[in-house]
Every structure is written in C-alpha cells, then in structure tokens.
C-alpha cells in the first residue's frame, strides 16, 4: 500500500509545475501566458488561439483553449485542446487541492479521467474530453442513467481507496475558520468543538464534513449556536451511518461525491464512446474536487438528489422502481469489474437499495453545510444562503419521516419524500 501511495505522490512530483497564476481581472492574457508556457509552439504565425468559457461550475473558472490551425478538423482541434481550471477565491477552505490533483492523477492512470498536463499556482491544465455535458432532464432517460450506473459501478470497483491513507497526524482536520481575525480568535474558539473520529482513519467524506463544520464562522452567538447544532447533528449521523456495512473496502469506495449533470459527459458515438448494443450511452465523469473515499450509498443517493438540478425540482427524482433498475446496472458493472459472480447481483441490489434509502437525507446536510461556507466566501452570483436552507430542509424532512414526527403532527408528506416513496 505504501508503494502505491508513493506512486501517486510520484505522479504529483513528476507533473509539470508552472509558477504563474490565472487572474480573473486579466482573464485572456493570464490564460494565454499559461498555455503558451505549456505549448510554446502555439506562438507565432499560423496559430489561431481561441478561448471557450464554460460556466457550469459554480466554484471555478473553466476555460477551453483551442488552436484553430488552418486545415485541422474540429476533432483534431479538440484532441489538442487544453482545459484550464482556475480555482475560485478561498475555495481551499472547502477543497483540498492537493488531494484533487492526486485523485485526477489516479483516475487518469486508470483511463477514467483526461490526462493532466501541468499545475500552476491556482489551478490545473489538462486534456479536453470530447462529448456533450448532460442536463438534469437527461438523467431521467434510461439510455443515460444506465450509462451513469455502469460507469459509477466501475469507479467504485476499480479505484483503490488505499491511495488516500494518511498518518494519524494528518487525519485530524485543521480548522480554517472563516472571518476570524486575531481579535475575534479567542471568542471564536471558545465553543470547543471536539472533532469526530471516523471509524476508518484517513480522509473520507465524513472527515470532509467535519472540516467544513469547523470552518463555519463562529463570531456571533447565533453563528456559534448553529455551528454547534450542526456538529451535534454530524455526531448523530455518524453514530447511525458510519458503520462499515456498505460494499467496498471496509464499507468505503472511492467516490465522486458530486455527480450532478454538469459533471457527466456523454461520449461521442464515433470513437470508443459508441453506445452499447442495448442503446445505453457511454458516459464519463469530470470534475474531481470532491472525490474521496465514501460509502457507496452516499455517492448514489447524492447522484439521485442531483436529478432535480440546482433548482431542486423534486418531481424529477427517480421513483423506487427506477432506483432499483439503476442499482441493478450499477451492481452488474461493479461485479464485472471485480470479477464477482453474476449470481450475487439480486442480493447486493436489495442490500444497496436499503442502504441508499438510509442515506437519502445526507446529501441535503452535506451541501447545506457547503452552502453556508460558500455564502461567505464566494464571489459568484448565486444565492448560496437560500440554497443551503433548501438542502437542510431535505435533511430535516427525511429525519421527520424516519422518526415518525411528521405523521404524528398530522402534516402532509413533503414532495421530495413523497416522490422518493413512489413506486413507479
């Protein structure tokens, strides 16, 4: 295990580093400097450099840089294209950038991510992946969701989580609190949150959640009270769900943890991206910022939650029968990539179906905490505060459903829970 761990560190060490930054205020010029440093042959006559800005991501800047040399086909241009991802301001509070680069390198080594080309001060340069980005509506199409289920089964089967083992010293998250200046530091630290210890050491989705809660502002009494109540809730969630019971290594798999439509690409039919004989599309996943060991059920429940898009349209969520079919595809793919017998599929599907059900409220909590941080740090024009509360309300609706308090109060079942309980 140690050898493979060093192997990934070796990938990082061997990855070219360009000591320059991308600047939002000077977007084209700074991006051009980076790309010409990477590809000096793109300078001079006969080159025609163009920038395509992708705005799907709500935390980063993503630019596609192409060189329209005369005589090249669109496909040839795309094959030489460079993607530049520049990190949003203060996003290091939320995302461990070194881990993201490591994850990308690991995925690229398995053919599951486009090759990395270089790192720079505030981002990454890598190859462009041809294809079409999905929409939330695409997720409801069997040809697409079967493709997602197959690819996710492969991810969870073949990617080793041992790459992410760390020493115990690295294990405890370092609190980097928001808005804490020296005068307020003493006041901010007095609530004495004792960080949780997850069942398995090393970074995982639970320890990330803990890091985020520690990063929440705690200047005012109101902020401190909220942070403390979220911490108590995290401890409760862990006591119920961090049990090692899921599939994978010790109940964890290497998970994407952000499978929204903007991160799923349908590959073109022409290349090896041709759809399977049953018409299922071949898809790939992009954007590995949140990829980390996690219970498989969290990754899957989170993907199902994303069928509703940023607007959280719960009418779009998959019903029980669709979830079961999705899980069948997923488990078949998972077993196939691990060389497990076909015979165990139904049993695993039954177990996973219950497990995903147990996790259905957790994405709301996870992105709720995330939204509270983004509301403080992001310069992007998106109402993170309202989004956070929408996501938290999914979590509380799930809680009230499983403890029976909603029914006891004689209140109507909320739409998301109704949709989740729907059979067909």
With b for 16 or more beta-carbon neighbours within 10 A and e for fewer, the 209-247 pattern comes to bbbbbbbbbbeeeebbebbbebbebbeebbeebbeeebb
| pLDDT of the residue at 214 | 95
Same-domain status, 109 and 197: no
Asked which of 102, 127, 152 is the last residue of a domain, the reply is 127
Find, among 89, 90, 86, 87, the residue nearest to 65 by Cα. 86
Phi then psi for residue 80, to 5 deg, are: -100, -5
Predicted confidence (pLDDT) per residue in 109-135, tens digit:
999 999 999 999 999 999 999 999 999
Same-domain status, 320 and 209: yes
| pLDDT of the residue at 36 | 98
Same-domain status, 278 and 365: yes
How far apart CA 2 and CA 8 sit, in angstroms, is 10
Same-domain status, 77 and 211: no
What is the residue range of 322's domain? Answer: 131-424
Same-domain status, 393 and 249: yes
Domain total in the chain? 2
Same-domain status, 14 and 60: yes
How far apart CA 110 and CA 287 sit, in angstroms, is 16
- Where in 80-171 does DSSP place strands (E)? 82-87, 116-120, 123-127, 132-133
Q: What is the mean pLDDT of residues 14-26?
A: 93
CB contact at 8 A, 69 and 49: no
Report strand pairing: 116-120 vs 17-18.
parallel
Predicted confidence (pLDDT) per residue in 280-333, tens digit:
999 999 999 999 999 999 999 999 999 999 999 999 999 999 999 999 999 999
Domain CATH number, residue 102: 3.30.200
């Amino acid at each position: 295990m140690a050898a493979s761990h060093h192997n990934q560190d070796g990938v990082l060490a061997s990855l070219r580093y360009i000591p320059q930054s991308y600047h939002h205020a000077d977007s084209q010029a700074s991006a051009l400097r980076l790309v010409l440093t990477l590809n000096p042959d793109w300078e001079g006559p006969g080159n025609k450099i163009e920038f395509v800005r992708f705005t799907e991501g709500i935390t980063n800047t993503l630019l596609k840089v192409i060189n329209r040399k005369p005589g090249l086909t669109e496909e040839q241009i795309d094959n030489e294209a460079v993607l530049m991802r520049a990190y949003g301001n203060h996003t290091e509070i939320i995302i461990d950038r070194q881990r993201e680069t490591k994850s990308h390198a690991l995925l690229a080594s398995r053919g599951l991510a486009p090759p990395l080309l270089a790192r720079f001060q505030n981002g990454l340069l890598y190859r462009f992946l041809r294809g079409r980005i999905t929409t939330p509506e695409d997720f409801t199409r069997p040809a697409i969701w079967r493709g997602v289920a197959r690819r996710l089964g492969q991810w969870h089967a073949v990617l080793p989580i041992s790459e992410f083992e760390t020493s115990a010293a690295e294990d405890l998250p370092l609190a980097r609190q928001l808005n804490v200046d020296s005068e307020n530091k003493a006041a901010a630290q007095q609530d004495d949150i004792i960080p949780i210890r997850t069942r398995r050491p090393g970074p995982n989705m639970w320890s990330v959640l803990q890091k985020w809660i520690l990063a929440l502002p705690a200047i005012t009494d109101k902020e401190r009270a909220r942070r403390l109540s979220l911490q108590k809730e995290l401890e409760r969630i862990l006591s119920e769900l961090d049990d090692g019971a899921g599939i994978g290594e010790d109940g964890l798999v290497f998970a994407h943890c952000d499978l929204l439509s903007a991160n799923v690409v349908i590959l073109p039919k022409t290349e090896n991206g041709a759809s399977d004989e049953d018409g299922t599309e071949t898809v790939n996943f992009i954007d590995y910022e949140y990829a980390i060991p996690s219970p498989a059920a969290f990754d899957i429940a989170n993907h199902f939650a994303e069928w509703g898009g940023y607007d959280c349209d719960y009418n779009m969520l998959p019903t029980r029968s669709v979830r079961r079919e999705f899980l069948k595809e997923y488990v078949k793919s998972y077993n196939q990539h691990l060389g497990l017998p076909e015979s165990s599929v139904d049993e695993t599907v039954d177990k996973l179906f219950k497990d995903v059900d147990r996790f259905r409220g957790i994405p709301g909590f996870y992105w709720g905490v995330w939204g509270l941080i983004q509301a403080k740090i992001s310069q992007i024009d998106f109402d993170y505060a309202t989004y956070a509360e929408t996501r938290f309300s999914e979590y509380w609706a799930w809680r009230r459903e499983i403890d029976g308090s909603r029914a006891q109060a004689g209140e109507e079942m909320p739409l998301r829970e109704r949709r989740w309980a729907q059979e067909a």
